[in-house]
Amino acid sequence: MNTTVDRLRNLVAEVTTFEEEWEDKLRAALPTYDPFRDGFPVEPRDEVRYFELCGDRAAEARDQLHRTTIGIEKVISEMTDTESEPEADQPG
């Protein structure tokens, strides 16, 4: 069970790391980037670059979601297989 919990924690950590890394990328590429700014997070001169980066981020997020979903499905499958094995061994 600890292995399963560790694997799920690793999946969560990967998503968290992804978000943190993208915040760092946006801050590095866009000096006016401020996610807490009222209205839009960048000044007008950085809007085009901001949208380009958002497109890149969306593509990477889809990939991240896909990897995370596969990881969760593997854990569920293994847990389900493990839980159902003892029942199969019991005389019925």
Please tell me the distance from the alpha carbon of residue 59 to that of residue 21, in angstroms, as a whole number. Answer: 15
Q: What is the pLDDT of residue 53?
A: 96
pLDDT above 60 (res 72): yes
Sign (positive or negative) of CA dihedral 10, 13, 18, 21: negative
Q: Does residue 33 contact residue 46 with C-beta atoms inside 8 Å?
A: yes
pLDDT digits (tens, 9 = 90+) for 29-44: 999 999 899 989 999 9
What confidence category does residue 1 fall into, taking pLDDT thresholds of 50, 70 and 90? low
Kindly state the average pLDDT of the residues 39-50. Answer: 94
Q: In whole numbers, what is the pLDDT of the chain averaged over residues?
A: 88
**pLDDT confidence of residue 58:** 96
